[in-house]
Amino acid sequence: MSMKEVLKLVGLGALAVTLGVECLDWLARRLWPGRGSHGPLNEVLFFPSPPACVEHLFTPARTLPCSCSLPHGVETSFGKMLGHVLSAKVSLDLCVFSFSHVELCRAVLLLHSRGIAVRVLTDADYMLITGSQIGALRRAGICVRHDVSNAVHMHHKFALVDRRKLITGSLNWTLTAVQSNKENVMVTEEPDLVPPYQKEFESLWEASDPGKRHPHSFSQSDFSGHAA
C-alpha cells in the first residue's frame, strides 16, 4: 500500500470517527435533554407542586407499598427537588432564609445520619418563627449557624450538594412556598455557576462563626452572669 493510500485511509477513518461521535452526541441529547454529553446538568422546577407521596425517595428499598392517603407514583417538582437534596454523598451546604418544611428537614436529618457533612446557615430572626425546623436540626447534632452581620436578612435560598450541584431560586424551604406559592428552583452543575455560590457559602459560614464574633456584638446581658 502506497503512502498516498495510507493517508487517504487515515483521512477517511478520521472522518468516519468524527461523524460517528457527532451522531452519538445528537442521539444522547435527544434521549436525555438537558444532560446531553455537551453540557452539565441544568434543570428548572416551578412551583406550586401538588401534594404527593415522597416516601419512595426516603426508603427506595422498601418492598411494601406506602399506605398514606397522598397520590402515589406522581412525579412533582417537589419530588425532583427532594431527590436532588437526597442525592448528596459527601456534603450538603444549606443557606436558607426560612426552613419549616418537615419533609425537607427529614431529608437533611437522614443525610446527617448517613454521615454526610451537613452545614446549615440561616436567618437570625426567621429561625425562631413557629414551625421552624432549625431546632430539630440542632438537636440532631447538625452544625447550624445564623447570620450575625448587620444585614437585615440572610435572604438566600440555596443548597450545594457535594460541592458540585447547586439548588437555588426563589423558594424558601417552607410548605407554603412548595405547595401554595408561584416559585422557581434551578438545579445546576454549571462550572461557571456553582463555584461562586460555594465561595459565598464559605465566606458567610466563616463570618457567622459564633467563636469569632467581635465582643461588642454581644449585648450587655451576655456578660452579666446570674445578675440578669
Contacts of 55 (CB under 8 A, 6+ apart): 62, 66, 68
* C-alpha radius of gyration, the chain, whole number: 24
* Closer of 162 and 200 to a copy of itself (Cβ): 200
Verify binding: residue 193, a copy of itself, rule CB under 8 A: yes
- Say how many CA atoms lie within 13 Å of 113 toward its Cβ: 11
Verify binding: residue 151, a copy of itself, rule CB under 8 A: yes
Selected range binding a copy of itself among 79-87, 98-106, 132-140, 169-177, rule: CB under 8 A: 169-177
Verify binding: residue 12, a copy of itself, rule CB under 8 A: no
Verify binding: residue 124, a copy of itself, rule CB under 8 A: no
Minimum distance from residue 72 beta carbon to a copy of itself (Å): 24
Minimum distance from residue 163 beta carbon to a copy of itself (Å): 15
- Cell numbers 487515515 label which residue? 10
Size of the site for a copy of itself (CB under 8 A): 41
**Positive or negative CA dihedral for 108, 204, 156, 91?**
negative
Q: Which listed residue (18, 37, 113, 184) binds a copy of itself by CB under 8 A?
A: 184
* Closer of 23 and 151 to a copy of itself (Cβ): 151
**Positive or negative CA dihedral for 156, 108, 47, 160?**
positive
What cell was used for 92? 450538603
**Number of other residues whose CB lies within 10 A of the CB of residue 159:** 26
**Number of other residues whose CB lies within 10 A of the CB of residue 51:** 15
Q: Which listed residue (55, 87, 176, 205) binds a copy of itself by CB under 8 A?
A: 176
The Cα-based distances of 41 to 35, 37, 201, 203 in angstroms read 5, 10, 21, 25
Q: Give the active site residues.
A: 155, 157, 162
Verify binding: residue 133, a copy of itself, rule CB under 8 A: no
Residues making contact with a copy of itself (CB under 8 A): 3-4, 7, 11, 34, 39, 42, 44, 46, 48, 97, 147, 149, 151-158, 168-171, 176-177, 180-184, 186, 188, 190, 192-193, 196-197, 200, 204
